[in-house]
A and B are shown apart, each in its own frame.
Chain A
Amino acid sequence: MIQKGMWWKLSGIILFLYVLWGGMTIPLRPGITSINPSSAKTGDTIELKATGYNTHFASVRNGRAWLKLDSVHAIKALNWQSENNNEVTFRFILPQTLPNATEVFPLHLIIDNETDGAFVHPNALFLSSSTDTLSFDAIPWTKHELGQFNDHQGIQFPYRSILNETIRNTFFHVALWFAMFLLLIFGVVYSIRYLSTSDYEFDRKASAYTNIAVLYGIFGILTGSVWAKFTWNTFWTNDVKLNMTAIALLIYLAYIILRGMNYDQDKRARLAAIYNIFAFIALIPLVFVIPRMTDSLHPGNGGNPALGGEDLDHTLRMFFYPSILALFLIGKWIAELTIRFERVKDHFYLKKS
């Protein structure tokens, strides 16, 4: 059943199954979705209610929490009171004075316990000074016990607010673009080889690889659009990266039309090969250079940090790189099928004429 040359096709399928399994079953790290109240005045005693995601608050024996201003100013919660796994209430007695005279301070909430590990909710509480108090600091700002955090257990993907579970799209949407680029490189290499040898086999290969790459590009646009709807709240923004990839795809669609024209085969192949090289050269500034020079919502563009840190940590990389390889191998497989079909077709019509 397994023929020669089947191993890379099977490994593509197995890798994709691995990505699907891991990408969909590994849980996210715990995080905080909402905080109530979100603002307070100095000197208040507040009951801070936090709603968590993937947290295990009810089973916690040794839970601690802090409101942190900076590396030296923090307050520890007095108690840990949780009704269920996702809701917890802390009592904080806020200090009478602020470290300096600025009006409003954002405080970060740090939660630490033995099952979930430590995690931060940035800008959880906005603290403003109640101007009439001039008394001395009854409860001082300390950094008591801040540190010595627990580690979370097992492999978990990073929790990012707004992104939430859609961080898993890194394996599908982002990997799709990387695989597309690999396939386009194959296409342009075969175009160059056609020009130097005038062998139609290379023309067929270039066309098949570019076709599947454009298909991947269309998937990339569609999946990105769906992802954007639920994170940026719109199907399409004026983000440079979106517009530039749309232009690049239109350039490649023109290639497909050019290659599909009913024309003298020799002229068509030569024209398509030259056009493909120009399209590839146009793609690089459109996708890699221009989006980095202006504002963009994508990571790695417009002053945003490149993929790394919490956006692509080692747990995500475990599935991101295999996913690129899997999608590339599946694309290569489909391209090979197209090449075989075109080869048979060309031979048949050549014999007839």
Chain B
Amino acid sequence: MKFKSFLYNLLLNLTWIMLLIPVTVQAQAMDFLRSTGKIYTVVVVIAIIFIGLAIYLIRLDNKLTKLENHIKNEQ
């Protein structure tokens, strides 16, 4: 539950931050991703894969903790 609410808050905050960032700054970020032969686009792609796998593993970890607690309570 804690993790879910944390994720929810993070998403909400990110949306707000995206809305509050001026367009010029967003354009600058796009320019940065295009600089030096668009190499940072590759970095973003690797980051997506890494973050995605991390989220999946965190969820699995949480499910395991829950099961462990169930088993502990049974004994």
Report the separation of the CA atoms of residues A212 and B60 in the bound assembly, to the nearest whole angstrom.
Answer: 12
Could you say which of A164, A219, A334 contacts B57, with CB atoms under 8 Å apart? A334
Report the separation of the CA atoms of residues A215 and B64 in the bound assembly, to the nearest whole angstrom.
Answer: 19
> By DSSP majority rule, is chain A's interface helix, strand, loop, or mixed?
helix
> By DSSP majority rule, is chain B's interface helix, strand, loop, or mixed?
helix
Q: Is B18 an interface residue (CB 8 A)?
A: no
Chain B interface residue count, CB cutoff 8 Å, equals 24
Task: Provide the A200-226 mask, 1 if CB < 8 A to any CB of B, else 0.
Answer: 000000000000100100110011001
Complex interface: chain A residues within 8 A of B67 (CB): 341, 344-345, 348
Report the separation of the CA atoms of residues A229 and B41 in the bound assembly, to the nearest whole angstrom.
Answer: 9
Complex interface: chain B residues within 8 A of A330 (CB): 53
Most buried by A among B45, B52, B56: B45
**CB–CB B38/A219 < 8 A:** no
Complex interface: chain B residues within 8 A of A222 (CB): 48, 52
Task: Provide the A256-280 mask, 1 if CB < 8 A to any CB of B, else 0.
Answer: 0000000000000000000000000
**CB–CB A169/B42 < 8 A:** yes
Complex interface: chain A residues within 8 A of B4 (CB): none
**CB–CB A165/B70 < 8 A:** no
Report the separation of the CA atoms of residues A348 and B74 in the bound assembly, to the nearest whole angstrom.
Answer: 10
Q: Is A337 an interface residue (CB 8 A)?
A: yes
Report the separation of the CA atoms of residues A165 and B44 in the bound assembly, to the nearest whole angstrom.
Answer: 13
Complex interface: chain A residues within 8 A of B36 (CB): 165
Report the separation of the CA atoms of residues A217 and B46 in the bound assembly, to the nearest whole angstrom.
Answer: 15
**CB–CB A230/B34 < 8 A:** yes
Complex interface: chain B residues within 8 A of A53 (CB): 37
**CB–CB A230/B49 < 8 A:** no
Complex interface: chain B residues within 8 A of A28 (CB): 37
Report the separation of the CA atoms of residues A229 and B42 in the bound assembly, to the nearest whole angstrom.
Answer: 12
Given the known inter-chain contacts A164-B38, A348-B70, please indicate yes or no for A341 contacting B53, CB distance below 8 A: no
**CB–CB A165/B38 < 8 A:** yes
Q: Is A68 an interface residue (CB 8 A)?
A: no
Q: Shortest beta-carbon distance, A1 to chain B, in Å? A: 20
Report the separation of the CA atoms of residues A191 and B57 in the bound assembly, to the nearest whole angstrom.
Answer: 24
Q: Give the residue name and chain of the B residue nearest to A167 (CB).
A: B42
Report the separation of the CA atoms of residues A37 and B53 in the bound assembly, to the nearest whole angstrom.
Answer: 48
Q: Is A4 an interface residue (CB 8 A)?
A: no
* B residues with CB within 8 A of A: 33-34, 36-39, 41-42, 44-46, 48-49, 52-53, 56-57, 60, 63-64, 67, 70-71, 74
